[in-house]
Amino acid sequence: MFAPFLLKLRAAGLPVSLTEWLALVGATRAGVAEYEVENFYFLARATLVKDERHMDRFDRVFAEHFRGVLPETTITGELITRDLPEEWLRKLAEKLLSEEERQAIERAGGFEALMDLLRQRLEEQKKRHQGGNRMIGTAGTSPFGAFGDNPEGVRIGQEGSRRRSAVKVWDKREFRDLADDAALGTRAMKLALRRLRKFARQGEAEELDMAGTIGATARNAGTLDLRMQAPRRNAMKVLLLLDIGGSMDDHIRASEELFTAAKSEFRHLVHLYFHNCPYERLWKTNHRRAANMIGTEEVLRTYGPDWRVVFVGDASMSPYELLEPGGSVEHWNEEPGQAWLKRITGHFRRVGWINPVPEGHWAHTRTITLIQRLTEGRMFPMTLDGLDRMAKALR
């Protein structure tokens, strides 16, 4: 009974291994769950799920797998959307709707029409939320809501008992909000960015210099002479230029994660913002106000050529923004964007561009191709492999 459950969890994309499995079996045998279904659910969750983002997926698999085994039948929205059990809907509707209401439905096209509508609605919902994360009715779009039904939506799976408490904990799916299918975790990003490290000794001398001490002590005829040195630190200096233009809205999450990863990896990290294309000024915070402005000339003067510059942006804009004076969408720029890009790439020896747009689509956007040329082919997709390639190119 348990082994298929494990396989189902793995099939659902939960990283469950034998270690956790044995722990669950061991804990069950030790009587932690005390032979109570709910406790068993809690135990299984504590053992098999290691990330709150996976809890919702776990709840779904649990509900599906233990449906027949558990005393009360419970079905999640996910299952219903897969094969709609018409019998239940009918029974439910009959039970919940008053005589007049049913007549009203008859007039509007009858039960069949209502069922069709419901089924259609469910399919739509499923398509819209690709993760299949919504139970029917929770969004309040189910046609049953219109008939003043249970405010929690269509409650199939609780035939005969309408007690609220009958809803199983795992059917509540309280962790829905935390579910997330992000491909790139911060941890993975950090590991990729680590390739960009370059160590150098800097700062206070607070570490014992072993070789130096031995040498000095020997020269001192055996009397201890301690030598200290500065610890090795990551001396890589990174200037991060982030695009916060409108077209980047889709990629905000990924950019934020990248930023978080970079922030903790580099001691010398400066980040500035631009809108679509860098011109004669940049911004220090993402509220682009005059007070936060910094001239691009000043940036070039402040940061030496040893800084690595990493642009994060989709490089998708109108070609005018890049090629023509006055092409900017928000102000009159004396010089075209490409002049500024050339200045930046000319001053800093190593410049990379991370693009959240999938690599396969790059050729379709003219400005991406142009900027790729301007950065000497150092444009990389925002994937682990891309970060890796960039780290190598900028070393």
Partner 1 sequence: MRFQSTDRYIASRDLEVAVNAAVTLQRPLLVKGEPGTGKTVLAQEIAKGLGLPLIEWHIKSTTKAQQGLYEYDAVARLRDGQLGEERARDVANYIIRGKLWEAFTAPTPVVLLIDEIDKADIEFPNDLLLELDRMQFHVYETKETVAAVHRPIVLITSNNEKELPDAFLRRCFFHFIRFPEREVMERIVQAHYPDVRKELAAEALNAFFLLREVDGLKKRPATSELLDWLKLLMAEEMPPEALRTADMKVALPPLHGALLKNEQDVHLLERLAFLHRGRRS
Interacting residue ranges for partner 1, rule: CB under 8 A: 15, 17, 19-20, 23, 26-27, 30-33, 38-39, 42-43, 45-47, 49-52, 55, 169, 174-175, 178, 185-187, 190-191, 208, 223-224, 226, 264
Cβ 121 to partner 1 shortest distance, Å: 29
Helix (H) or strand (E) holding 200: strand 199-201
Cβ 128 to partner 1 shortest distance, Å: 23
* Minimum CB distance to partner 1 smaller for 136 or for 391: 391
Instruction: Give the bridge partners for 81, in sequence order.
Output: none
Distance CA(243)–CA(279), nearest Å, equals 12
Q: What is the DSSP letter of 31?
A: T
Cβ 218 to partner 1 shortest distance, Å: 13
Cβ 312 to partner 1 shortest distance, Å: 20
* Minimum CB distance to partner 1 smaller for 151 or for 222: 222
Cβ 272 to partner 1 shortest distance, Å: 20
Chain centroid to Cα 134, Å, comes to 19
233 — phi, psi (to 5°)? -130, 160
Cβ contact 81:132 at 8 Å: yes
SS3 content of the chain, % helix, strand, coil (to 5): 50, 10, 40
By C-alpha distance, which of 8, 21, 15, 12 is closest to 47? 21
Q: How many helices (H) does the chain have, and how many strands (E)?
A: 17, 11
Contacts of 254 (CB under 8 A, 6+ apart): 182, 184, 356, 382
* Encoded amino acid at 338, one letter: Q
Cβ 194 to partner 1 shortest distance, Å: 8
Cβ 364 to partner 1 shortest distance, Å: 34
* Minimum CB distance to partner 1 smaller for 123 or for 207: 207
Cβ 170 to partner 1 shortest distance, Å: 11
Span between the terminal Cα atoms of the chain, in Å: 53
Cβ 25 to partner 1 shortest distance, Å: 10
* Minimum CB distance to partner 1 smaller for 13 or for 15: 15
- Residue 176 has, within 13 A of its CA and on its CB side, a CA count of 17
* Minimum CB distance to partner 1 smaller for 74 or for 375: 74
Site of tokens 């439910």: 92
Q: Are strands 350-355 and 308-312 parallel, antiparallel or unpaired?
A: parallel
Distance CA(337)–CA(277), nearest Å, equals 6
* Minimum CB distance to partner 1 smaller for 14 or for 241: 14
Token digits of residue 101: 């209401």
* Minimum CB distance to partner 1 smaller for 49 or for 238: 49
* Minimum CB distance to partner 1 smaller for 33 or for 118: 33
Cβ contact 287:275 at 8 Å: no
Could you list the beta-strand ranges (E) of 186-252: 199-201, 207-208, 228-229, 232-234, 237-243
